[in-house]
Structure 1
Amino acid sequence: MAVVASAPGKVLMTGGYLILERPNAGLVLSTNARFFAIVKPLYEEIKPDGWAWAWTDVKLTSPQMSRESMYKLALKNVTLQCVSSSDSRNPFVEQAVQYAVAAAHAAFDKNKKELLHKLLLQGLDITILGSNEFYSYRNQIEARGLPLTPEALAALPPFTSITFNIEDSKAENCKPEVAKTGLGSSAAMTTAVVAALLHYLGVVNLSSLTKDQDQERDTTDLDIVHMIAQTAHCIAQGKVGSGFDVSSAVYGSQRYVRFSPEVISSAQVAAKGLPLEEVIVDILKGKWDHERTKFSLPPLMTLLLGEPGTGGSSTPSMVGAVKKWQKSDPHKSLDTWRKLSEANSSLEVQFNMLSKLAEEHWDAYKCIIDICSRLRPDKWLEQASEPTQEAVVKALLGARDAMLGIRYHMRQMGDAADVPIEPETQTRLLDATMNMEGILLAGVPGAGGFDAIFAVTLGDSGSNVTKVWSSVNVLALLVREDPCGVSLESGDPRTIGITAAVSSVHI
């Protein structure tokens, strides 16, 4: 019986850099790009002498990378050993398997442990698949002589093989880098594997979590998935990040404040040899103090992402440079962070105001958004014919001003730290985008750099943006906001042919 779980990628709209430190918040949107994990037994039945075995087999397949790895899992101390060629190892999945199995050991009494033992002796067959939206197919589209349009992306088959960035000929031995779009594939993958395994092993029951139901989710089981995925992801990464990417992969779109890094300190010690089962108890009982508030884009607004194709940026090195600047100029950096934090809060206030107006005065809200979607922002205010519409337009303009403030302070920070947070090419592109009809705001997501740009559009104005972007060599992606977090799927996504392109985008 196969278990299929999926978890979404993310776009960090506000909170770049600040989100690394409590109590700064970030607004993170989960997307329709999803990572899938399929878990099933490797063998039909346990071999007769299976009971004596101290090991079981784990097979990990990544069809998009044409990779298959075999592992031995020690049943006593839950450690994985790779027995196939080491260049295909995936530390995120390895940690996810170890922590999920350890969580099952820690959660079960003697009877349940025997059942768990039987289940594990059948081996674990794990397949991982990422939506096309996580990866860059720009080079393939260009190589085929096709235009850089969403239609060209939508024509690719689901779960297309992944291309690697062109290797630098000078560095003979460097590993080829997968060309990505910056949606947090490692966090979504780790979360999907942890969720599928915990459900398969009976630690949590995620049956009520299917994407079709927009019910208020009971978070007890999700909280377990979150703690395990967060820990596995940090250990695989070799550092404790802010965790917003894992949190949105588990719970969906949200306003997020990070957890105190100490909560997973025992796991960092475990990396040096403490038994995992003890660590996991610590993790699950730890004081997880992150904050998560419901948040998503107001109605009739669409998130658009564009890939400028100037090559990716390294987030860790940019973060390092900003931290160095903070140490060297604490007075100036504190001032910039305070102003940036105020602009972030202001954007959040305006968005919440717009959601509230939509809820309470839908007709007036819909009418004015519809009008504004066809006009440039400087013409919006004169269209409001009554107080509610005026309130909507003022909130829209307030959100724009907040975004311009965020961009200004991010650029200041980049200049001071000497890193391209909003490079000049992006600035010109974002300014041009923000002056188009029906565009609420535009910016660089997350830590900035050359990876991607995003825009929030009103009504049906998005198609103009994709045309303009295409004309300046920016590929509009098929990514949209989908506020839903981790979910169980009803079957293998390859047989159902799930692709974000088909299911949610009408081009």
Structure 2
Amino acid sequence: MRAFSAPGKALLAGGYLVLDPKYESFVIALSARMHAVVTSVKNPGLKDETNIHIKSSQFNHNEWNYIASKVRGFAPKEIDGKSNPFIEYTIINVCNYFFDIEADDNDITIEIFSDEEYHSKENTKVMKNTYKSFRFHDKDIQDVPKTGLGSSAGLVTVLTTALSSIFCKNLDISQHQHQRLIHNLAQIAHCQAQGKIGSGFDVAAATYGSIVYRRFFPDIISDLPKISTDDLDKYHTALRAVVDNSDWKMTATPTNLPKGFKLIMGDVNTGSETVKLVQKVKSWYNENLPSSLNVYKSIDSNNMKIIKLCQDLHILEKTNPTYYNDLLEGLSKGKIQNFKELQEFQNAVSEIRKNFRLITEQSGADIEPAVQTELLDNCCKLKGVLTGVIPGAGGFDAIALVASQDTDIALETKDLKEFQNVTWMKLRQANCGLSEEDSDHYRDLKSEC
């Protein structure tokens, strides 16, 4: 038995531009994690087939049973007629990558868990043990609102890792080559499951943690042949070549918020359809060139200012600790105007938001809708809060604030009408990406009632 976890994400700087390989983005990994616990046995009755049982008892009817075999190119068949593309493409790609490796066990069970911050907490009960605590829902997973932290990317990443560990007994996700293996397999499966080739920042953050990210070129995945049982060799041979290709032209440079700063996220309990937002913005961009390119250039310039300011603050904390401590105290007391670094950070985010409001107005895509503008502006008036954004594609997903480490956002907003629809999430910046966990920590979950 082995267990793995991967963090959620918040795209702090880089919304929409992250889709283009020429732009860099700033992605914060979150303490909320997706988990996979894998067990396996040898079942002589299965002969040349592999039974893969995926379940998540946190949701109603959240269970899938697949039969996969080399004869069908590992195209999984769900015995109850259910469909989950994220699970199915993960099985297809992991099994095809390890096509020539005979696993010791052929009856595999993978239990999926998600930390409570990924979904609405309405109508839930807490199940916990000494080590872990999870919320169990009384609905199917598709009927539970999500908060936009990257649950599908986290699912595919931990599922890829758990299944790979059956074929690769020495899998060590602290090693770069094994991280890259998981990342590349998960990126391919996630793109195929979505029916499109996305930016991949969510899978990259799930694997590597907080990063400055530049996406891979889409054709590395789009050039893969179609999965077909008529030519079993063609797909797994091409897949192996793509996954093992070190030249994805992607960068994922480790980073984090400077010392003394923290990320705060607030759920507005609505959520957005990212695909529809992206389609509207793409149409607006193509129909409004070259002025739309100038808008993107302005956003990129300010994104880079944020990345550079974080780097400069890291250096400042070491080279001039006295000034840096004064800066943190100034942020805590709301004296941002006394420190040019804080003003520059705040101004850069303000310019980005202004451009996204322009795109919202011109494209019809609710990147920063008026109600979110009002909420963010109110948040930025709070003592200790430097700035705030709607991360990623924007819309009605959870908001993200950059604040002083000692800011107590729940206390500051308690009983204030303008924050009555916000649930402050128990989140922090994650220290790592993909991680191996102690499988014993998931046993004997019991109701806290």
Q: Same fold (TM over 0.5)?
A: yes
Q: 1:487 aligns with which of 423, 428, 435?
A: 435
In structure 2, distance between residues paired with 1:484 and 1:408 = 32
What's 1:72 paired with?
A: 67
Instruction: Give identity over the alignment, percent.
Output: 29
Distance 1:273 1:135, change over 3 A: farther
* 2:277 equivalent to 1:321: no
Greater share of residues in strand: 2
Query: What letter is aligned with 1:487?
Result: S
Shift, 1:22, TM fit: 1.5
Q: How many residues align?
A: 433
Name the amino acid aligned to 2:92. Q
Residue 474 of structure 1, aligned match among 422, 426, 429 = 422
Residue 242 of structure 1: SS of its match in structure 2?
coil
Distance 1:496 1:285, change over 3 A: same
Q: 2: distance between equivalents of 1:244 and 1:189? A: 14
> 2:80 maps to which residue?
84
Query: Is it true that 1:434 corresponds to 2:429 in the alignment?
Result: no
1:259-299 per-position Cα deviation (integer Å, ceiling 9, x unaligned):
00111124452269653422322322443111121211000
Give the residue type in structure 1 aligned to 2:105. Answer: L
In structure 2, distance between residues paired with 1:9 and 1:280: 27
Aligned mates of 1:353, 1:163 — CA distance in 2: 48
Correspondence 1:235-254 to 2 at 5 A: 235-254=192-211
Q: Deviation of residue 245 (structure 1)?
A: 0.2
Aligned position for 1:389: none
Q: Judge conservation of contact 1:266–1:282 (CA < 8 Å) in 2.
A: no
Paired amino acid for 2:405: G
Deviation readout 1:434-475 (Å, 9 max, x if unpaired): 122111111111111111211011131233455358843211
Q: 1:348 to 1:494 in 2, by over 3 A?
A: same
- Asked if the contact 2:214/2:251 (under 8 Å) is kept, the reply is yes
Q: Structure 1 unaligned runs (5+)?
A: 107-112, 145-156, 166-174, 210-217, 382-392, 499-507
- The residue aligned with 2:128 is none
Match of 1:195 among 145, 161, 166: 161
CA distance in 2, matches of 1:318, 1:449: 8
- Deviation, 1:348, is 1.2
3-state secondary structure, aligned to 1:269: coil
SS in 2 for 1:159: strand
SS at match of 1:457: strand
Query: Are 1:358 and 2:317 matched, yes or no?
Result: yes
Other-structure match for 1:184: 150
Match of 1:93 in 2: 87
Cα separation, 2, equivalents of 1:196 and 1:220: 16
Secondary structure, aligned partner of 2:105: helix
- Tell me the amino acid that sits aligned with residue 60 of structure 1: I
Give yes or no for contact 2:123–2:137 (8 Å, CA) kept in 1.
no
TM-score (norm 1): 0.80
- Distance in 1 (alpha carbons) for counterparts of 2:148 and 2:422: 15
Distance 2:63 2:238 in 1: 29
Distance change (3 Å), C-alpha of 1:368 and 1:335: closer
| Aligned counterpart, 1:348 | 307
Match in the other structure for 2:55:
61
Match of 1:4, SS?
Answer: strand
Q: 1:25: how far off?
A: 1.1
5 Å-filtered alignment, 1:11-410, equals 11-41=10-40, 43=41, 45-47=42-44, 53-66=47-60, 67-76=62-71, 77-86=73-82, 89-106=83-100, 113-114=101-102, 116=103, 118-120=104-106, 123-137=107-121, 139-140=122-123, 158-162=133-137, 176-202=142-168, 205-206=171-172, 209=174, 218-267=175-224, 269-270=226-227, 274-275=231-232, 276-286=235-245, 287-309=247-269, 311-378=270-337, 381=338, 393-410=339-356
Pair 204,222 (structure 1): closer, same or farther in 2 beyond 3 Å: farther
What is the alpha-carbon root mean square deviation over aligned residues?
Answer: 2.4
Cα distance in 2 for partners of 1:176, 1:205 equals: 32
Deviation at 1:56, TM superposition (A): 2.3
Alpha-carbon distance between aligned partners in 2 of 1:343 and 1:271, rounded to the nearest angstrom: 45
Q: In structure 1, how many angstroms separate the alpha carbons of the residues matched to 2:228 and 2:300?
A: 35
SS at structure 2 position matched to 1:325: helix
Q: Deviations over 1:384-415 (max 9, x none)?
A: xxxxxxxxx22111101101011111111111
Aligned AA for 2:112? I
Partners in 2 of 1:403 and 1:313 — Cα distance?
A: 21
Q: Which residue of 2 aligns with 1:452?
A: 398
Is the partner of 2:386 in helix, strand or coil?
A: strand
Q: Which amino acid in the other structure matches residue 166 of structure 2?
A: Y
Deviations 1:12-36 (A, max 9, x none): 0011111111111111001111111
Q: 1:294 to 1:370 in 2, by over 3 A?
A: same
Contact 1:22 1:259 in 2 (8 A): yes
One-letter amino acid matched to 2:5? S
The residue identity in structure 2 corresponding to 1:491 is S
Provide the C-alpha distance between the structure 2 equivalents of 1:457 and 1:252, rounded to a whole number of angstroms. 20
Find the residue that maps to 1:448 and give its secondary structure: coil
Deviations 1:37-92 (A, max 9, x none): 11111x4x433x65xx2212111111111322211111342221110142xx3221
For 1:148, the equivalent position in structure 2 comes to none
Distance 1:198 1:413 in 2: 42
Shift of 1:204: 5.5
442-451 or 198-207, which moves further after superposition? 198-207
Q: Structure 1 residue aligned with 2:366, among 420, 425, 441? A: 420
Measure the CA separation in 2 of the matches of 1:470 and 1:4: 42
Residue number in structure 2 paired with 1:384 = none
Matched residue of 2:347: which SS? Answer: helix
Q: Hey, which of these two has a bigger chunk of helix by percent?
A: 1
